[in-house]
C-alpha cells in the first residue's frame, strides 16, 4: 500500500503561505514598504496601476542587495534579521518572517532591480510562479526597485474575490498612511494610474499627521509624552472637539509597528470620559516604545496583532498618559481681561476710599469672616430660621437671603494642584478591566417590534392636536391610546424611503447653486467621495471632480439649505464610514442610510404645528413606519388601560 503523506512542492507551499500573508494588493504594499524602510531608505516611492491588480511598484534608495542576496530573498523563510532563537525576541525591524517576497513571487510576476553602492552594476531578476525565469546584470541606481505585476494571475479564483478598484485602492492608501506615519523622517510618495496622490516631505510627526489626516488638525493636536523605566509613550491626541463617529483616525504603534488593539483603544476612550459623547471616537497617533522582550510580535502573519507580557500595566500607562496630556491644556475658553471704559468712569473707581467708608466696611460680619483665620467659608446662622439656609419666610417677605456656601471645604482643599502623571497612573491601575472589552456592533436587522398595527396614517390625523415635547418627541393622541413619536427617527424613515425611490428611477428635485461651492478633502476622503458621486447625483446632489482632492457642488436637493455643502458632505462621509465599520452592508445601502441620517431634523429642533402634521402624515405613508432603516423604533404606543394599571385604577 502506497504511503499517503507527501511533502508539498515549494510552489504550492508558497501559495498556501501567500494565502495568509498576501490577501489583497494592499498586503503586498505593506510588506514591500516595510522592506524598503528596513533597507535604510530615505526616499520611498509607491506606484500603483489598476488598484494594484496590474502593478505594485516600490522604489527606494536604500542599501540594495548583492546578486546572491537578490536570489536568496525569494526563498521561503529567507531573512537577514534572524540569526538565532534569541533574535526572535529582540525584533526591532519591520520584516523578519522571511515569507513576504516568497509569497508575492508565488502569486504574481515579479521584477527586481537592485544595486549596492560598492557595486558597479546592479542585478535584474524576473520571477514567475516562484521560478526565476531571467537574471542579468543591469545599470541601476543605488537601492531597490521591485515590481509586482498581475496579482493572482495563476490563482484566478483568488482574483475573483478582490473588491472594486476604489475599495482596493482605499486599502492601499490605509497601509501607505500607516507606514508613512510611523516614519515621518522618510520621504514618501504615492502615484496611482499616473496621478500623484501623496507627496510627503520628511519632517516632524505633527507635520506628517497634518499632511495625511488634514489641515483641520493643525491647531487641534495635544502632545503626549511620558517616559518611564518600563515604557515610553509619545505622539498626539486630538482635542475633544475633533472626536468623530468613526474610528478612522486612530493609530497605535508599538516599536514603530502599526498594531490593532481593542484593549488599548478602550484605554484611550476611558481617558476621554466626560469630555466627548459616549458614541464618539477620539483621534490619536500614539507610539509606545518598550523592550522587545516584553512584547511578542510573531503571533499573526500580518504582524498587526501582538501580545504584551503585561497588558494591564500598558493599559494603565496609556490611559494615564493621555489623561495627563489632556489635563495640561486648557479646554475652557480664554478670558478677556481688557478693561471696559464704562467701568473706569464709575464712582467706586474714580472717587477715593475714605476712612469712614473703610471703618464701616471693616465692621461688617462679611469682612470679619474673610479676615479671621480659617473662617473664609463660614456661614453666619440666619436669624429668622436659626440655621445656615434661608427659610421660606425670607423669600416670601422679600428679605434678602444670606449667601450659601459649603462650610466643609478648607482653603487648602479648594486649591488642589493639577494631578500628575504618577497619580493618574495609580488611578488608572485601579480601573484596568480584567478582560479585554468586546467591540459591539450594531444589529443589521430590526430588533424592535411595534405594538401598533398601523400601516397607514390614523384616521382624523389632521384634526388631532399634536404637541412637541423636549424639542424631540411629538405627542399624538388617538382612541384609547397615544403615540410618542421620535421626530428624528421618523424623518430618517421618510427620507430613506424617498431616497430608495430616487435610486429606483424617481429623481429628487435638485436646486442649482447660484455660487457653486468648492470643497477640498483629505486624499482618503476624496477617493471615497469619488466612489459615491454617481449615487449621490441620483439623490439630488450635483457634484463634479475639480482637481486632485477637490470637488465642486453645483446643486443640492431642493429641501436642503444651501451654504453649508462642505459640512453636509463631511457628515455624510463620516456616517458612511461609521456604517462601513459596524455593518456588513452594500455600498449603496450604507450611502442611503448615511444621507437619510444626515438630512433628518435633529433632536432639539422646534417644529410648528403644520410641520408636525406633515411629518406624522408622511411617516404613516411609509411602507414600514414603525422603525428607522437601522432598526430603531420611530414611535412607541401607550394604551390607556396600561396607564390605568400604572396608577392603580
Contact partners, residue 320, CB within 8 Å, separation at least 6: 226, 271, 421, 424, 425, 427, 428
Q: Which residue has the cell 475633533?
A: 242
Which whole number is the average pLDDT over 210-235?
89
Q: Which residue has the cell 481617558?
A: 271
Q: What's the CA gap between 107 and 558, in Å, rounded? A: 51
Q: What's the CA gap between 286 and 321, in Å, rounded? A: 10
Note the pLDDT tens digit of each residue in 37-80: 988 999 999 999 999 999 999 999 999 988 888 888 887 655 55
* Alpha carbon distances (Å) from 524 to 188, 423, 543, 574, 592: 16, 40, 17, 12, 20
Dihedral angle computed from the Cα positions of residues 152, 156, 157 and 163, in that order, rounded to the nearest 10 degrees? 60
Which fold does the domain 206-328 belong to in CATH?
A: Ribosomal Protein S5; domain 2 (3.30.230)
* Alpha carbon distances (Å) from 309 to 248, 298, 428, 431: 28, 13, 18, 19
Note the pLDDT tens digit of each residue in 517-533: 888 888 888 888 888 88
Which fold does the domain 467-639 belong to in CATH?
A: Ribosomal Protein S8; Chain: A, domain 1 (3.30.1370)
* Predicted local distance difference test score (pLDDT) of residue 388: 46
Record the cell numbers describing residue 113, joined without a space. 532591480
Note the pLDDT tens digit of each residue in 72-112: 888 765 555 555 555 555 555 555 445 678 888 888 899 99
Least confident of 141-155, 218-232, 499-513: 499-513
For the chain, the domains span 10-200, 206-328, 467-639
- What does DSSP say about strands 195-200 and 187-192: parallel, antiparallel, or unpaired? antiparallel
- pLDDT > 50? residue 397: no
Rank 256-265, 405-414, 428-437, 486-495 by mean pLDDT and report only the highest: 486-495
Asked if the domains 10-200 and 467-639 are classified in one and the same CATH topology, the answer is no
Note the pLDDT tens digit of each residue in 180-217: 999 999 999 999 998 898 999 999 999 999 989 888 88
CB 568 within 8 Å of CB 560: yes
Least confident of 122-126, 341-345, 453-457: 453-457
* Predicted local distance difference test score (pLDDT) of residue 545: 87
Q: What's the CA gap between 434 and 311, in Å, rounded? A: 10
* Predicted local distance difference test score (pLDDT) of residue 112: 92
Which CATH number is associated with domain 10-200? 3.30.565.10
Q: What's the CA gap between 62 and 355, in Å, rounded? A: 83
Least confident of 160-174, 298-312, 529-543, 544-558: 298-312
* pTM recorded for the entire structure: 0.67
Q: Which residue has the cell 493636536?
A: 221
Amino acid at each position: 500500500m502506497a504511503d499517503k503523506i507527501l511533502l508539498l512542492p515549494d510552489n504550492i507551499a508558497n501559495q498556501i503561505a501567500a494565502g495568509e500573508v498576501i490577501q489583497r494588493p494592499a498586503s503586498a504594499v505593506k510588506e514591500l514598504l516595510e522592506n524598503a524602510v528596513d533597507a535604510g531608505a530615505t526616499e520611498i516611492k509607491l506606484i500603483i496601476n489598476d488598484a494594484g491588480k496590474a502593478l505594485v511598484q516600490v522604489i527606494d534608495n536604500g542599501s540594495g542587495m548583492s546578486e546572491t542576496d537578490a536570489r536568496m530573498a525569494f526563498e521561503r523563510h529567507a531573512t537577514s534579521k534572524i540569526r538565532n532563537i534569541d533574535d526572535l525576541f529582540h525584533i526591532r525591524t519591520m520584516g523578519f518572517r522571511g515569507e513576504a517576497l516568497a509569497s508575492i513571487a508565488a502569486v504574481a510576476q515579479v521584477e527586481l532591480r537592485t544595486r549596492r553602492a560598492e557595486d558597479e552594476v546592479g542585478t535584474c531578476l524576473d520571477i514567475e510562479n516562484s521560478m526565476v525565469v531571467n537574471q542579468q546584470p543591469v545599470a541601476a541606481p543605488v537601492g531597490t526597485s521591485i515590481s509586482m505585476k498581475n496579482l493572482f494571475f495563476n490563482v484566478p479564483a483568488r482574483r475573483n474575490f478582490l473588491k472594486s478598484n476604489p475599495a482596493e485602492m482605499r486599502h492601499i492608501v490605509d497601509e501607505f498612511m500607516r507606514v508613512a506615519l510611523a516614519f515621518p523622517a522618510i520621504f514618501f510618495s504615492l502615484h496611482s494610474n499616473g496621478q500623484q496622490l501623496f507627496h510627503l516631505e520628511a519632517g516632524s510627526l505633527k507635520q506628517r499627521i497634518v499632511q495625511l489626516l488634514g489641515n483641520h488638525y493643525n491647531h487641534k493636536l495635544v502632545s503626549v509624552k511620558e517616559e518611564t523605566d518600563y515604557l515610553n509613550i509619545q505622539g498626539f491626541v486630538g482635542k475633544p472637539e475633533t472626536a468623530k463617529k468613526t474610528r478612522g483616525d486612530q493609530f497605535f504603534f508599538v516599536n514603530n509597528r502599526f498594531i490593532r488593539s481593542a484593549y488599548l483603544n478602550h484605554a484611550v476612550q476611558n481617558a476621554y470620559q466626560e469630555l466627548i459623547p459616549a458614541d464618539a471616537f477620539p483621534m490619536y497617533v500614539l507610539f509606545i516604545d518598550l523592550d522587545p522582550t516584553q512584547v511578542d510580535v510573531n503571533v499573526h502573519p500580518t504582524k498587526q496583532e501582538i501580545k504584551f507580557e503585561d497588558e494591564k500595566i500598558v493599559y494603565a500607562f496609556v490611559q494615564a498618559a493621555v489623561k495627563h496630556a489632556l489635563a495640561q491644556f486648557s479646554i475652557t475658553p480664554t478670558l478677556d481681561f481688557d478693561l471696559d471704559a464704562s467701568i473706569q468712569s464709575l464712582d467706586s473707581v474714580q472717587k477715593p476710599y475714605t476712612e469712614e467708608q473703610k471703618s464701616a466696611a471693616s465692621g461688617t460680619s462679611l469682612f470679619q469672616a474673610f479676615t479671621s483665620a480659617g473662617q473664609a467659608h463660614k456661614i453666619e446662622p440666619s436669624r429668622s430660621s436659626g440655621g445656615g439656609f434661608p427659610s421660606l419666610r425670607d423669600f416670601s417677605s422679600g428679605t434678602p437671603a444670606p449667601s450659601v456656601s459649603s462650610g466643609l471645604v478648607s482653603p487648602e482643599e479648594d486649591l488642589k494642584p493639577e494631578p500628575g502623571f504618577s497619580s493618574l497612573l495609580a488611578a488608572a491601575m485601579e480601573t484596568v478591566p480584567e478582560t479585554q472589552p468586546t467591540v459591539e456592533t450594531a444589529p443589521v436587522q430590526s430588533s424592535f417590534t411595534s405594538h401598533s398595527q398601523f400601516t397607514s396614517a390614523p384616521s382624523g390625523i389632521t384634526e388631532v392636536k399634536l404637541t412637541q415635547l423636549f424639542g424631540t418627541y411629538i405627542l399624538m393622541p388617538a382612541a384609547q391610546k397615544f403615540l410618542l413619536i421620535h421626530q428624528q427617527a421618523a424623518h430618517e424613515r421618510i427620507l430613506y424611503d424617498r431616497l430608495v425611490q430616487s435610486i429606483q428611477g424617481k429623481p429628487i428635485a435638485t436646486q442649482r447653486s447660484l455660487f457653486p461651492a468648492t470643497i477640498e478633502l483629505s486624499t482618503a476622503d476624496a477617493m471615497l467621495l469619488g466612489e459615491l458621486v454617481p449615487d449621490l447625483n441620483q439623490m439630488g446632489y450635483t457634484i463634479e471632480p475639480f482637481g486632485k482632492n477637490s470637488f465642486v457642488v453645483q446643486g443640492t436637493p431642493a429641501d436642503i439649505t444651501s451654504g453649508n455643502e462642505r459640512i453636509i458632505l463631511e457628515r455624510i462621509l463620516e456616517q458612511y464610514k461609521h456604517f462601513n465599520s459596524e455593518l456588513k452592508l452594500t455600498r449603496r445601502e450604507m450611502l442611503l442610510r448615511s444621507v437619510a441620517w444626515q438630512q433628518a431634523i435633529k433632536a432639539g429642533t422646534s417644529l410648528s404645528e403644520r410641520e408636525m402634521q406633515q411629518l406624522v402624515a408622511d411617516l404613516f405613508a411609509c411602507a414600514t413606519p414603525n422603525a428607522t432603516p437601522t432598526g430603531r423604533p420611530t414611535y412607541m404606543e401607550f394604551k390607556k388601560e396600561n396607564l390605568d394599571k400604572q396608577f392603580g385604577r
